[in-house]
């Protein structure tokens, strides 16, 4: 028999988006759980770029570990697990199920992200020649030889965009036929991008562990410091579907300015939503969602209608924060005073 745990807020996904949402809801006084399978895109970072205040050598795993410790110190629960099913029942609350555990919550934050579609081997190590984030990593390739892999519009455009950083860009179709449009083809041919159609047959690494280059089936060898596979994104959207949240044509989830989906009480943040796929963006979305959830759940002030129906608020009714979170806040303050 599975155990049921009750919360005001259940966050599914413990990347930067979900952890930030949980940080806000917890610090704003709402019992919150984060359920996270582990892995995810942030965990793939060899180094962290573009996050002001976080130095480059911090890995994704270290970054997430610090964030988990922070939210737990404020009193959030963090559970390692995979949520398989979610539904809103007649009691108006959300029921989530995963493994041996059930969770019931008033609000749900979906922060499940997506998975980059991987090309076949041979491939260099992630972050040492294999890169999935142009806005994070293009800076590392100023004046370096780079590749882009793929056959679609995105691959062709990223190859041309990289010309803003270096004059040595190859587009590798790996034996597959190009699928980009005629217009893109015209653009591409008018830019100094080499299109290589041969499949890759081997790979060499430098002494520092970074990619040195690829060998091709025609026996040629081309030097690269790194590059970007562009084969699309698989959105982790099973729960989005189960909770009847609308999606955009590109697979992202439709959200309003507060990151609430088209299903009341269900929020979506981070890589699941439209916009730039970046940690600061994901964190901003988590913050917006967390604050909006607080606006909806906080007890006070009571409206005039509520006061007329329920009477005045007595000193015994405040504060509204739960005993657990109250205790966590006291402990946190005591540690700070040490």
Ligand X SMILES: Cc1cc2nc3c(=O)[nH]c(=O)nc-3n(C[C@H](O)[C@H](O)[C@H](O)COP(=O)(O)OP(=O)(O)OC[C@H]3O[C@@H](n4cnc5c(N)ncnc54)[C@H](O)[C@@H]3O)c2cc1C
Compute the C-alpha angle 171/176/178, nearest 5°: 60
To the nearest whole angstrom, how small is the minimum distance from the Cβ of residue 320 to ligand X? 29
Q: Does position 242 bind ligand X by CB under 6 A?
A: no
Q: Does position 44 bind ligand X by CB under 6 A?
A: yes
Please, are residues 171 and 156 in contact by the beta-carbon 8 Å criterion? yes
To the nearest whole angstrom, how small is the minimum distance from the Cβ of residue 44 to ligand X? 4
To the nearest whole angstrom, how small is the minimum distance from the Cβ of residue 87 to ligand X? 14
Name residue, tokens 């979610």: 86
Sequence-separated (6 or more) residues with CB below 8 Å from residue 279:
16, 42, 48, 50, 51
Stretch of 107-115, 163-171, 180-188, 308-316 lying at the interface with ligand X (CB under 6 A): 107-115
Stretch of 109-117, 199-207, 225-233, 313-321 lying at the interface with ligand X (CB under 6 A): 109-117
Angle, in degrees to the nearest 10, between helices 323-337 and 60-73: 110
To the nearest whole angstrom, how small is the minimum distance from the Cβ of residue 123 to ligand X? 12
Closer residue to ligand X, CB minimum distance, 215 or 238: 238
Q: At residue 222, what are phi and psi to the nearest 5 degrees? A: -125, 135
Residue 138: closest CA among 45, 157, 150, 146: 146
Closer residue to ligand X, CB minimum distance, 200 or 282: 282
Closer residue to ligand X, CB minimum distance, 173 or 236: 236
| Mask for 159-198, x = binds ligand X (CB under 6 A) | ----------------------------------------
To the nearest whole angstrom, how small is the minimum distance from the Cβ of residue 317 to ligand X? 36
Stretch of 111-119, 180-188, 209-217, 323-331 lying at the interface with ligand X (CB under 6 A): 111-119
Q: Could you say which of 171, 279, 293, 321 contacts ligand X (CB under 6 A)? A: 279
Total number of residues that touch ligand X (CB under 6 A): 41
Measured CA to CA in angstroms, residue 196 lies from 128, 182, 191 at distances of: 22, 18, 14
Q: Could you say which of 30, 271, 284, 288 contacts ligand X (CB under 6 A)? A: 271
Q: Does position 40 bind ligand X by CB under 6 A?
A: yes
Interaction residues for ligand X, span 3-32 (CB under 6 A): 12-18
Q: Could you say which of 10, 26, 63, 113 contacts ligand X (CB under 6 A)? A: 113
Q: Could you say which of 282, 289, 293, 321 contacts ligand X (CB under 6 A)? A: 282
Residues binding ligand X (CB under 6 A): 12-18, 35-42, 44-45, 48-51, 82-83, 111-113, 116, 126-127, 132-133, 136, 236, 239, 270-271, 277-280, 282
């Amino acid at each position: 028999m599975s155990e049921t745990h009750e919360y005001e807020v259940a966050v599914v996904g413990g990347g930067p988006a979900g952890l930030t949402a949980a940080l806000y809801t917890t610090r704003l006084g709402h019992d919150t759980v984060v359920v996270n399978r582990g892995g995810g895109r942030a965990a793939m970072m060899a180094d962290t770029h573009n996050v002001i205040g976080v130095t480059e050598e911090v890995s994704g795993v270290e970054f997430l570990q610090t964030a988990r410790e922070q939210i737990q110190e404020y009193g959030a629960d963090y559970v390692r697990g995979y949520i398989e099913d979610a539904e809103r029942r007649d009691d108006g609350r959300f029921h989530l199920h995963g493994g041996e555990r059930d969770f019931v919550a008033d609000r749900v934050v979906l922060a499940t992200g997506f998975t980059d579609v991987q090309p076949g081997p041979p491939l260099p190590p992630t972050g040492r020649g294999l890169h999935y984030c142009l806005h994070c990593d293009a800076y590392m390739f100023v004046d370096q030889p780079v590749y882009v892999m793929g056959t679609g519009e995105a691959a062709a455009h990223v190859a041309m965009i990289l010309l803003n950083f270096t004059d040595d860009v190859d587009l590798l179709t790996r034996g597959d036929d190009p699928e980009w449009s005629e217009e893109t083809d015209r653009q591409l041919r008018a830019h100094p991008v080499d299109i290589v159609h041969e499949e890759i047959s081997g790979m060499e690494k430098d002494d520092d562990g970074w990619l040195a280059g690829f060998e091709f089936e025609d026996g040629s060898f081309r030097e690269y410091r790194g590059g970007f596979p562009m084969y699309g994104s698989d959105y982790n959207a099973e729960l989005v579907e189960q909770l009847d949240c609308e999606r955009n044509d590109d697979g992202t989830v439709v959200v309003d300015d507060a990151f609430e989906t088209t299903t009341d009480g269900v929020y979506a943040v981070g890589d699941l939503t439209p916009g730039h796929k970046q940690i600061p963006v994901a964190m901003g979305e988590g913050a917006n969602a967390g604050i909006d959830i607080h606006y909806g759940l906080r007890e006070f002030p009571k409206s005039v209608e509520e006061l007329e129906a329920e009477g005045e608020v007595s000193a015994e009714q405040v504060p509204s924060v739960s005993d657990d979170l109250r205790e966590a806040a006291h402990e946190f303050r005591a540690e700070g005073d040490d």
